[in-house]
Amino acid sequence: MSDHDKVFAGSIPKFYDSYMVPLIFAGYAEDMAERVAALKPAAVLETAAGSGVVTRALAARLAPEARYVVTDLNQPMLDHAAQRQGADARITWRQADALAVPFDDASFDVACCQFGAMFFPDRVAGYREARRVLKPGGHFVFNVWDRIEDNVFADDVTNALAGMFPADPPRFLARTPHGYHDAVLIRDDLEKAGFSDITIETRSEQSRAPSAHHVALSYCQGTPLRNEIESRGSLQEATEHAAAALAKRHGPGEVAAKIQALVVTAMN
């Protein structure tokens, strides 16, 4: 994974929250919030919180006396999330690396992470750190995207950009968001970190958008794919190229296609 894959700065947080969240993240955030809330935790740690889509869904479900610590490696994303959430005395916002969170051992009942583990440079270390801060019997709940071929819009955009930049195709989507989908490997990494009672569930949904251009704008300008495109050529031209390819396959009006992820729960 390139260091650029972790850079969510500049205008990316705004585009990410406005476009990517409703396109692919919102449904999975509701699912994660329901899973975590069902455990009735008194203390929750969220890592790699991004623009706060899980935070908003989960805070509404937690008890009034619950303690909720929300972290992300990228301060601009965390600032955006805090602004969207508004005042909530239960929530503490903290910039932190998921591989080295600044919290005591056995501090939380649940640790959760939505679509962040793919970005961990050392996943076993990240899982070990989640386990360290969990109380005995605590739960680690996270999800990762399945292979890019099962996430149609991401695959379409990747293929379209490969046609535009054949000598050096931008591969961020395939390399990182969709690069950690082997359930056997995920289970093995969790076991190496000391987790037991691991469940891995495949969950498919429909990604919907008002137009193909909306999808292209989401992926090309609302993710670190933007950084790869801008290093090769015009962001606007690439966005329009991807939009044309999407419209050719899915039509000019409202569009919908399959997205798929793995939802993982492990007990300390």
Measured between alpha carbons, how far is 147 from 68 in angstroms, rounded to an integer? 31
DSSP 150: G
Cβ neighbours, 10 Å, residue 135: 16
Stretch 177-183: mean pLDDT, rounded? 98
Write the pLDDT tens digit of every residue in 206-253: 999 999 999 999 999 988 899 999 999 999 999 999 999 999 999 989
Looking at the predicted structure, is the pLDDT value of residue 134 above 80? yes
E strands, 25-107, are 43-46, 67-72, 91-95
Instruction: Tell me whether residue 142 is exposed, middle or buried, using C-beta atoms within 10 angstroms of its C-beta: 0 to 12, 13 to 18, 19 or more.
Output: buried
Q: Are 77 and 13 in contact (CB under 8 A)?
A: yes
For 163, counting Cβ atoms within 10 Å of its Cβ (0-12 exposed, 13-18 middle, 19+ buried), the class is exposed
Give 119's DSSP letter: G
E-strand ranges in the chain read 43-46, 67-72, 91-95, 108-114, 134-145, 196-209, 255-267
**pLDDT for the residue numbered 20:** 86
Task: Output the CATH code of domain 3-267.
Answer: 3.40.50.150
* pLDDT the model gives residue 15: 72
User: Are 129 and 99 in contact, with CB atoms under 8 Å apart?
Assistant: yes
Q: How far is CA 140 from the centre of its chain?
A: 15
The pLDDT mean for the chain works out to 94
What is the percent of the chain where pLDDT is above 70?
A: 95
What is the model's pLDDT at position 5? Answer: 38
Is the confidence at residue 189, as pLDDT, over 50?
A: yes
Percentage of the chain modeled with pLDDT above 90: 87
- List, for residues 167-176, the tens digit of each pLDDT value: 999 999 999 9
Does 1 have pLDDT greater than 70? no
Q: How confident is the model at residue 12 (pLDDT cuts 50, 70, 90)?
A: low
* Residue spans per domain, the chain: 3-267
Q: pLDDT per residue over 63-119, tens digit each?
A: 999 999 999 998 988 998 999 998 999 999 999 999 999 999 999 999 999 999 999
pTM: 0.92
Report residue 115: phi and psi, to 5°: 50, 45
